[in-house]
């Protein structure tokens, strides 16, 4: 039998809740073994509750999918708690929660004096301190406001990087060297490009070597890059044969001022089509990307993606006629390099929403709307009215989040919900 002190504490917290309906009391009751709710289920409920919200809300809104026994226990607890009112006595509490009959005897023990809860701080608005914005900071904000808060307002955890991020940096560096030496890839043989790129990859991975956790990790990532490089050169040679182009530059600074908000970034590669004079803006992707041109365009339309729209407007402001935006996938060494390529068109074209094609179009009006939304987000971030940074409801966003340990309100992945 559990110590009567614990039971006494439960009754005291229940009486306190009956009088004041405070969520802290509800939480304390839920955590108690006398709640009838298992520890795992109680934890899931507390995680599902919004900050400052009573766990009752999380139960009644059924935010957590439980096994049947846990669900029944949680609902019974919620019913008992919700039925309390200020007139209720210890006897009511004992009956409501079906507590052991020995409960009144426990009253002989010295009462536990619960400390008064700390007065919550008054919420005040916060605002971005940064003088410059970047497309990736806006992407973070729309993906998860809480993550943006951790990264850009608190700088809460130092992101030390990972093998995947060092792979990306080393590969970008090797490609910059390649295109610096061969700005017109059509004028050299594919074999030369391949040999040179492999040499640049070797030297880039030597430079980034100490960043990798182990020499083996570095070697594995280098070999992955070498395999991907062969596919990259194949694509490059094909592209140069079908439409000659000149690489204007790599890692080019992109700066743009929109309604007083300054944006800054770096463009991986900018090409000039020698036949049409149009400019293609290219972003290398060493992580996951959209699988089709339509999917990427829909992300732009849904204001979930600002990278290429920002580059478009930055290069347009510099006087370029940007005719194409492209994402070049460099993640998977086993797949041919097949960029997601969007031709910029004056008016939207009808493209099948489910098209899996990697080429498609994006209209100037889509890019204008993205630009307008960028300014709106900057206003939100700087007007000092933001006093809450909601967590995402997409658990996939949490998978590699550096702040996951600190983030007790993160969504539970669907597979975990069913595993409970």
How far apart CA 58 and CA 26 sit, in angstroms, is 12
Compute the least distance from the CB of residue 53 to ligand SF4, in Å.
16
Compute the least distance from the CB of residue 339 to ligand SF4, in Å.
28
How far apart CA 383 and CA 44 sit, in angstroms, is 35
Binding region for ligand SF4 (CB under 6 A) out of 89-97, 321-329, 356-364, 399-407: 399-407
Binding region for ligand SF4 (CB under 6 A) out of 85-93, 146-154, 268-276, 302-310: 146-154
* Size of the residue set binding ligand SF4 (CB under 6 A): 13
By CB under 6 A, tell whether 144 contacts ligand SF4: yes
How far apart CA 256 and CA 251 sit, in angstroms, is 16
How far apart CA 218 and CA 210 sit, in angstroms, is 9
And the tokens for 149? 């808060």
Q: Where are the alpha helices (DSSP H) in 67-157?
A: 68-82, 90-96, 135-143, 145-148
Number of CB atoms found within 10 A of residue 396's CB: 12
By CB under 6 A, tell whether 358 contacts ligand SF4: no
Compute the least distance from the CB of residue 124 to ligand SF4, in Å.
21
Task: Select 144 or 342, whichever has its Cβ closest to ligand SF4.
Answer: 144
Task: Select 146 or 222, whichever has its Cβ closest to ligand SF4.
Answer: 146
Pick from 142, 100, 98, 89: which is nearest to 6 by CA? Answer: 100
By CB under 6 A, tell whether 290 contacts ligand SF4: no
With tokens 């993205």, the residue in question is 370
Q: What angle do CA 126, 413, 58 make, to 5 degrees?
A: 65
And the tokens for 391? 């967590």
Compute the least distance from the CB of residue 138 to ligand SF4, in Å.
15
Task: Select 93 or 138, whichever has its Cβ closest to ligand SF4.
Answer: 138
By CB under 6 A, tell whether 151 contacts ligand SF4: no
**Which residues, 214 to 233, sit near ligand SF4 by CB under 6 A?**
none
Task: Select 153 or 264, whichever has its Cβ closest to ligand SF4.
Answer: 153
By CB under 6 A, tell whether 397 contacts ligand SF4: yes
What CA–CA distances, in Å, run from 389 to 57, 127, 147, 277?
Answer: 20, 11, 8, 45
Mapping DSSP to helix (H, G, I), strand (E, B) and coil, where does residue 154 land? helix
C-alpha 393 chain-centroid distance:
10
Binding region for ligand SF4 (CB under 6 A) out of 13-21, 61-69, 141-149, 199-207: 141-149
- In sequence order, the β-bridge partners of residue 326 are 282, 341
With tokens 């504490």, the residue in question is 9
How far apart CA 246 and CA 25 sit, in angstroms, is 68
Compute the least distance from the CB of residue 403 to ligand SF4, in Å.
5
Binding string, residues 373-392; x marks residues near ligand SF4 by CB under 6 A:
------------------xx
Relative to beta strand 245-258, strand 261-273 is: antiparallel
- Which residue among 28, 146, 194, 269 contacts ligand SF4 (CB under 6 A)? 146
Binding region for ligand SF4 (CB under 6 A) out of 113-121, 174-182, 232-240, 404-412: 404-412
Compute the least distance from the CB of residue 141 to ligand SF4, in Å.
11
**Which residues, 309 to 338, sit near ligand SF4 by CB under 6 A?**
none
By CB under 6 A, tell whether 404 contacts ligand SF4: yes
Compute the least distance from the CB of residue 380 to ligand SF4, in Å.
17
Are the CB atoms for 376 and 369 separated by under 8 Å? no
Residue 48 makes CB contacts below 8 A (sequence gap 6+) with: 58, 63, 64, 412
By CB under 6 A, tell whether 42 contacts ligand SF4: no
Applying CB under 6 A, which residues contact ligand SF4?
A: 144, 146-147, 150, 391-392, 397-398, 401, 403-404, 407, 410
């Amino acid at each position: 039998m559990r110590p009567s002190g614990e039971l006494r504490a439960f009754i005291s917290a229940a009486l306190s809740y009956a009088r004041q309906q405070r969520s802290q009391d509800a939480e304390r009751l839920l955590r108690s073994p006398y709640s009838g709710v298992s520890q795992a289920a109680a934890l899931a409920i507390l995680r599902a509750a919004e900050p400052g919200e009573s766990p009752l809300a999380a139960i009644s809104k059924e935010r957590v999918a439980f096994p049947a026994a846990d669900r029944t226990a949680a609902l019974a607890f919620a019913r008992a708690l919700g039925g309390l009112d200020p007139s209720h006595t210890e006897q009511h509490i004992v009956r409501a929660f079906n507590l052991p009959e020995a409960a009144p005897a426990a009253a002989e023990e010295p009462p536990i004096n619960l400390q008064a809860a700390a007065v919550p701080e008054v919420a005040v608005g916060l605002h971005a301190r940064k003088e410059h914005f970047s497309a990736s900071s806006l992407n973070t904000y729309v993906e998860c406001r809480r993550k943006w808060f951790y990264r850009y307002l608190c700088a809460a955890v130092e992101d030390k990087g990972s093998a995947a991020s060092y792979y990306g940096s080393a590969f970008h560096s090797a490609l910059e060297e390649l295109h610096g030496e061969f700005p017109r890839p059509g004028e050299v043989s594919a074999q030369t490009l391949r040999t040179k790129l492999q040499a640049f990859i070797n030297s880039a991975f030597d430079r980034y070597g100490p960043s990798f956790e182990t020499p083996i990790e570095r070697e594995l990532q280098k070999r992955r890059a070498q395999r991907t490089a062969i596919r990259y050169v194949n694509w490059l040679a094909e592209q140069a044969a079908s439409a000659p182009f000149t690489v204007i530059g790599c890692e080019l600074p992109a700066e743009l001022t929109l309604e007083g908000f300054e944006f800054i970034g770096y463009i991986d590669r900018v090409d000039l089509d020698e036949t049409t004079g149009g400019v293609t803006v290219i972003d290398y992707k060493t992580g996951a990307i959209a699988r089709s041109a339509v999917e990427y365009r829909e992300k732009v339309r849904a204001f979930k993606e600002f990278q290429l729209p920002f580059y478009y407007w930055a290069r347009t402001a510099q006087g370029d006629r940007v005719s194409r935006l492209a994402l070049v996938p460099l993640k998977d060494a086993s797949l041919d390099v097949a960029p997601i390529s969007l031709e910029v068109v004056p008016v939207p074209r009808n493209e099948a929403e489910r098209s899996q094609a990697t080429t498609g179009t994006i209209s100037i009006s889509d890019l204008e709307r993205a630009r307008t939304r960028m300014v709106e987000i900057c206003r939100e971030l700087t007007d000092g009215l933001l006093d809450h940074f909601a967590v995402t409801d997409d658990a996939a966003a949490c998978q590699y989040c550096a702040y996951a340990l600190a983030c007790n309100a993160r969504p539970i992945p669907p597979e975990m919900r069913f595993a409970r």
